[in-house]
Amino acid sequence: MSLATGMRLGAYEIVAPLGAGGMGQVSRADDTRLNRDVALKVLLDAVVGDPERVARFTREAHVLASLNHPHIAHLYGFEAGAPTAFLVMELVEGPTLADVIHGAPGLPRPETRGRQPRGTSAGSEDPALHVNRPTASLVPNQMDEVRPRMAARYD
């Protein structure tokens, strides 16, 4: 499902796109029931029809729901069923680690070579957990810690 500004998925109204990947699209949305901003990760139309990929997305939801860590965005909800499937997550705002590394205008460019920001290993202690963390989905804070902006991929 392609998301457009103003479109609604249940109680969530799409505000703006945040990113996209091979399985889905992430958008900023307004939770009209609880009056808060959230991130929605919605599976692409081509993926929703693939039972194996929907099962992987469901596993992602279960893993996220089981984690409670200050460096992992919280899962607020999960919907899976025709015609779409989506995660409702905490919206983590700010420039991404990719923005900082590549020197986006107005951002300080710290020395990043050879350093791993704290928080990138959060949740990876479980050997069954594979996490894909592209720098465009990580948001660093002032203490050199990162939080994922969108859900990671769990196999």
| 50-85 b/e (C-beta count within 10 Å ≥ 16 → b) | eeebbebbeebbebbeeeeeebbbbbbbbeeeeebb
Q: Tens digits of per-residue pLDDT, 51-79?
A: 999 998 999 899 989 988 887 889 999 99
Among candidate residues 94, 89, 96, 93, the one with its CA nearest the CA of residue 38: 89
- The pLDDT score that the predictor gives to residue 22 is 84
- For residue 27, which amino acid is it? S
User: Which is more confidently placed, 101 or 47?
Assistant: 47
Cβ distance 148 to 136 under 8 Å?
A: no
SS3 (DSSP) at 65: helix
- The pLDDT score that the predictor gives to residue 114 is 47
Q: Tens digits of per-residue pLDDT, 79-124?
A: 987 788 999 999 988 777 777 777 666 655 555 444 555 555 555 5
Q: What single-letter DSSP state applies at residue 21?
A: -
CB neighbours of residue 152 within 10 Å = 20
Whether the model pTM is above 0.85: no
**140 DSSP β-pair partners:** 146
- The pLDDT score that the predictor gives to residue 134 is 54
Most confidently modeled range among 31-35, 122-126, 147-151: 31-35
**Could you give phi then psi for residue 77, rounded to 5 degrees?**
-170, 165
CA dist 2 and 123 (Å) reads 30
Q: Tens digits of per-residue pLDDT, 125-145?
A: 554 444 455 555 556 555 555
When mean pLDDT is compared across 28-32, 125-129, 138-142, 146-150, the lowest value belongs to 125-129
- The pLDDT score that the predictor gives to residue 137 is 55
Alpha helices per DSSP H over 1-155: 45-48, 51-66, 97-101
User: Which is more confidently placed, 146 or 5?
Assistant: 5
As a CATH number, domain 8-90 is 3.30.200.20
CA dist 44 and 11 (Å) reads 20
